[in-house]
Structure 1
Amino acid sequence: MSDWISVRVAERREEADGVVGLILAPTGPGSLPAYEPGAHIDLKLPNGLVRQYSLCGPQANGATYELGILHEAEGRGGSRYVHEHLAVGEVLEISAPRNLFPLVPGQPALLFAGGIGITPILSMADELARQGLAYELHYCTRSATRAAFRQRIGETHAAERVHFHYDDEPETRVDIEALLSGEPTERHIYVCGPNGFMDFVLGAARARDWPEERLHSERFSGAAENADGDAFEIEIAGTGQVIHVPAGLSATAALAAAGIEVPLSCEQGICGTCLTTVLSGVPDHRDMYLSPAERAANDCFTPCCSRALTARLIIDL
């Protein structure tokens, strides 16, 4: 990426057990780019790692960005570096914000956050409150001590709008049956958190015939990395070039080896950055990005993690 933005760590604080909050400010004159609720940035760390984090602060004057970062001991190293090494005053590079998880304008919302999934959901709640739209926020964590931004939420959102649910306090656990009972309303559901939590909420909504266009989600982790499967070929429609993708190698890696670069970000099938049009053939969808209907259409796939069920895919790059 060529258009990196230089920022410094203006503030660092413990937001909850295992969660660090960062305030990032520009190193030079001018403001940071504006963004909409649900947006995220790429954060380039001093050790060379690039990771994606949701923006959770108010969309105010562009003076700062706010992040909340969970320490994932079994992660890929980005959060570990932030928690163990990143200090106030350090200079970092970030991308401009991108939004793959936007709010539908002017519509009431039912917000579900699991753990660190509060980060994009909180910016949505802030915006819905600012606009005076109807919403409920249900925030689920293992315990109260693991609820990031709890004080801020309590100070900026009406008590009747916010519901905290803790695994170690059974009387507070979320009652999804009650929340989704009756006919689906005009509200949109937004959910972010661990995969199991999201599957639980979305599965309950689908079982009650909530329309897919009213279900919105963002995942922070994809399925376990898996390049298993038969070898296949990719044909580039514009040139006719054919690339062999062997078993054990991802499609993007095979394309890169052939000199064909595909835009990448998460490399786990959760962000949609690498989404590519399929003109012929049937993909083996292994992503967490496409909806069931989009998968059934078989007219696009995520080459960072998905493969092919047919011997060849013809794609448009």
Structure 2
Amino acid sequence: MSLREALRIPSREITDETVYRDRRRIVGALAASGALGLAGCAKADAPPPPPASKIDPARMRAGFTTNETRTTYQDVTTYNNFYEFGTGKADPANAPRTLRTSPWSVAVGGQCAKPGRLSLDDLLKGLKPEERVYRHRCVEGWSMVIPWLGVPLGDVLKRFEPTSKAKFVAFTTLADRKQMPGLSYPALDWPYREGLRIDEAMHPLALLATGIYGKPLLQQNGAPLRLVLPWKYGFKSIKSIVAITFVEHMPFTSWNDEASDEYGFFSNVNPAVDHPRWSQKTERRIAGTGSKLFADRIPTRLFNGYAEQVGSMYAGLDLRKWF
């Protein structure tokens, strides 16, 4: 069996296309009727303002590394979620190298004093890339430990001087069918979009990544520029970013729009809040040893083990409603 075949989701687990296409209408009707309970409220309501939290630099730096065994470069670059290049885990690595990453720029605007366009070269001017070893937890229950190379997201955002009206930050992925063949499949409402509360975006752990293992990002890993948010589920770490917008209200995000009962706006890793179709109490670390892809299951930690660094941002927040 080839790697591509081994990593594909079994056909018995794939939702029938007719059911999939009707899913949004069904979810919308359930939300309107209140049948989704508290989880369904997160989409319509606005979250409460964040509490005042004090950043402890030493505590933040302690979160920039871990002694846990790193996932191998081979596994990090061949087992991926990037639907723009296919929905199977091996599809992004096996896809033709069609993404043009140079030149690359990001449009930055919205509620800021200095809107503009940021090129990849401009990004690195005055900001020395640093390596941070972060745990990466996927909503499907698997996890990795990855040495990322990048610059603090907050340092980049400050260049554009967000105003007091900037309560959230919205991000958009490239959507070009010539470069991203997966866009021809209606898996989501393209382009892929994500968002953060402004304090989350400015948090020292939030990284704008340009590489892994000291090498530039590959196409399947979100080249040339992606977010890394280690305390959140992996789909929040948007890839191949082309736009960043400061906004006053909670922005549209792709998976939350597709299924708000399954994918909350915050999507912080939380073992006490299960996905409707599976438990989040444990995770499978990518093992990278011999023919065994996954190691034995281990307990999932609140905020993916970064509670000491990020917990104060969610003090008093109902983590079941605002999951």
TM interval, short-chain normalised: under 0.3
Question: TM-score scaled to structure 2, two decimals?
Answer: 0.22
Question: TM-score scaled to structure 1, two decimals?
Answer: 0.22
More helix by share: 2
Structure with bigger gyration radius: 1
More strand by share: 1
